[in-house]
């Protein structure tokens, strides 16, 4: 979609287009712009009010929030501020409570509590080549996704607010490129998180299942290996906070009500992310993420995962494509080898929901 840099004209009190259940006619956009122009002239308050009623417009808090309305379906970021602008609605990240009406939405666009960028068991599409210190190159790939099922909250797909039920799932595959690309191991995860967001605060509570399995080729070539049955069915509680739009701090704990022989009930993870939350356009933007994961089954040792690179965020879906340098140190993140230590560094790409 085209992005335009338009001259800023002092038109008096700014206007705001408010979403309504009925899509406004294309001509209402021109009327909305006229309302702002008329309002800039002395004695024209009555005319501006009349046009405002025709186009469902209302005053904003400051002149910085005045939108520039484009043609039908256009969406862009106003260079004067961090506000998102569309032909139907204008809003700012972390809008104050009550700024937008909440309603029920089936199969909504967007997520209220996004997956952790550096979380090692977060559903996404990704692939990375990682060199193991003192070992071989590993090829890690994640085939997964996460979607909203139902939401009570705002309709928008970029930084929505409300309460939402999600489904998530993924397969975390490790291949051995130097050994005929054999499957070393694969972990499977499925979850049902219930998430919440309002302003800079977010939370989630849910259930997930995770289990780990050795690859067939690996088992055939290593017949004497002691195969473990790693499995967890757990309840998870997480909280997140945005001190500023581009920075998230979070913490999460989970308790497993069913465990296998090599797993234990409790784990804990925390981290921080610096990531542009607005549509980036073709040029993209840098990002950084760090995650610390501690597990009872490894006597509260765990792992540190760091990613830094470049990202591109969509204008409508809020999905993100990233290319990153990755550094990982700690316990093996393939849970079939959960007691082994690893230090990895490499490059990869990922698509986050």
Q: What's the length of the chain? A: 353
Is residue 76 a contact partner of residue 3, using CB atoms and an 8 Å limit? yes
Q: How far is CA 21 from the centre of its chain?
A: 27
Q: How far is CA 325 from the centre of its chain?
A: 19
By CB atoms closer than 10 A (0-12, 13-18, 19+), residue 23 is exposed
Is residue 134 a contact partner of residue 340, using CB atoms and an 8 Å limit? no
**Given the DSSP bridges, would you call strands 182-198 and 162-176 parallel, antiparallel or unpaired?**
antiparallel
Rounded to whole angstroms, the Cα distance separating 291 from 295 reads: 13
Rounded to whole angstroms, the Cα distance separating 108 from 150 reads: 6
Q: How far is CA 212 from the centre of its chain?
A: 25
Rounded to whole angstroms, the Cα distance separating 91 from 191 reads: 31
Angstrom distances, CA of residue 35 to CA of 6, 31, 90, 164, 337: 18, 6, 16, 37, 66
**Would you write out the chain's pLDDT as a tens digit for each of its 353 residues?**
444 454 444 444 443 443 433 344 444 433 443 444 444 434 444 444 433 443 444 444 444 444 434 334 444 444 333 444 444 444 445 455 556 899 999 999 999 999 999 999 999 999 999 999 888 899 999 999 999 999 999 999 989 999 999 999 999 999 999 989 999 999 999 999 999 999 999 999 999 999 999 999 899 898 888 888 899 999 999 999 999 999 999 999 999 999 998 899 999 999 999 999 989 999 999 999 999 999 999 999 999 999 999 999 988 888 999 999 999 999 999 999 999 999 999 999 999 99
- Using alpha carbons, select from 318, 316, 317 the residue that is nearest to residue 75: 316
Is residue 145 a contact partner of residue 353, using CB atoms and an 8 Å limit? yes
Is residue 286 a contact partner of residue 264, using CB atoms and an 8 Å limit? no
Q: How far is CA 23 from the centre of its chain?
A: 28
Q: Name all domains of the chain by residue range, CATH numbers in brackets.
A: 16-92 (no CATH), 106-352 (2.40.160.40)
Q: pTM, whole model, 2 decimals?
A: 0.74
Rounded to whole angstroms, the Cα distance separating 132 from 19 reads: 52
Instruction: Provide the β-strand partners of residue 7.
Output: none
Is residue 266 a contact partner of residue 254, using CB atoms and an 8 Å limit? yes
pLDDT, tens digit, for every residue of 137-149? 999 999 999 999 9
Is residue 187 a contact partner of residue 155, using CB atoms and an 8 Å limit? no
Q: Tokens for 214?
A: 């050795």
pLDDT, tens digit, for every residue of 176-233? 999 899 999 999 999 999 999 999 999 999 999 999 999 998 998 988 888 888 999 9
Rounded to whole angstroms, the Cα distance separating 79 from 16 reads: 17
Q: Tokens for 28?
A: 């209402």
Q: How far is CA 308 from the centre of its chain?
A: 16
Other beta carbons within 10 angstroms of residue 321's beta carbon come to 16
Q: How far is CA 318 from the centre of its chain?
A: 8
- Using alpha carbons, select from 137, 131, 127, 130 the residue that is nearest to residue 171: 127
């Amino acid at each position: 979609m085209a992005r335009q840099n338009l001259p800023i004209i002092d038109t008096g009190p700014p206007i705001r287009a408010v979403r309504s259940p009925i899509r406004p006619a294309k001509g209402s956009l021109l009327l909305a712009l006229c309302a702002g122009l008329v309002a800039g002239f002395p004695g024209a308050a009555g005319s501006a009010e009349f046009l405002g009623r025709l186009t469902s417009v209302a005053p904003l808090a400051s002149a910085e929030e005045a939108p520039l309305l484009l043609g039908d379906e256009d969406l862009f970021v106003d260079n004067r501020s961090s506000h998102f602008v569309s032909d139907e609605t204008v809003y700012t990240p972390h809008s104050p409570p009550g700024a937008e009406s909440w309603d029920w939405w089936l199969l909504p666009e967007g997520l209220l509590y996004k997956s952790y960028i550096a979380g090692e068991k977060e559903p996404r599409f990704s692939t990375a080549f990682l060199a193991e210190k003192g070992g071989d190159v590993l090829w890690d790939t994640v085939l997964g996704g996460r979607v909203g099922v139902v939401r009570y909250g705002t309709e928008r797909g970029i930084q929505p607010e409300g309460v939402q039920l999600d489904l998530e799932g993924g397969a975390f595959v490790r291949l051995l490129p130097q050994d005929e690309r054999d499957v070393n191991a694969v972990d499977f995860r499925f979850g049902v998180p219930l998430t919440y967001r309002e302003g800079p605060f977010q939370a989630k509570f849910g259930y997930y299942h995770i289990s780990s399995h050795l690859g067939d080729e690996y088992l055939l070539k290593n017949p004497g290996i002691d195969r473990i049955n790693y499995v967890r069915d757990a309840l998870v509680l997480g909280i997140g906070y945005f001190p500023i739009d581009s920075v998230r701090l979070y913490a999460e704990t989970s308790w497993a009500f069913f465990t296998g022989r090599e797993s234990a009930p409790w784990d804990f993870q925390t981290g921080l992310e610096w990531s542009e939350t607005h549509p980036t356009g073709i040029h993209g933007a840098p990002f950084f993420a760090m995650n610390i994961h501690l597990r009872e089954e490894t006597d509260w040792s765990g792992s540190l995962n760091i990613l830094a690179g470049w990202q591109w965020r969509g204008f409508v879906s809020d999905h993100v494509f990233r290319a990153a340098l990755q550094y990982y140190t700690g316990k093996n993140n393939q849970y079939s080898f959960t007691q082994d230590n690893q230090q990895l560094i490499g490059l990869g790409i990922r698509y986050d929901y």
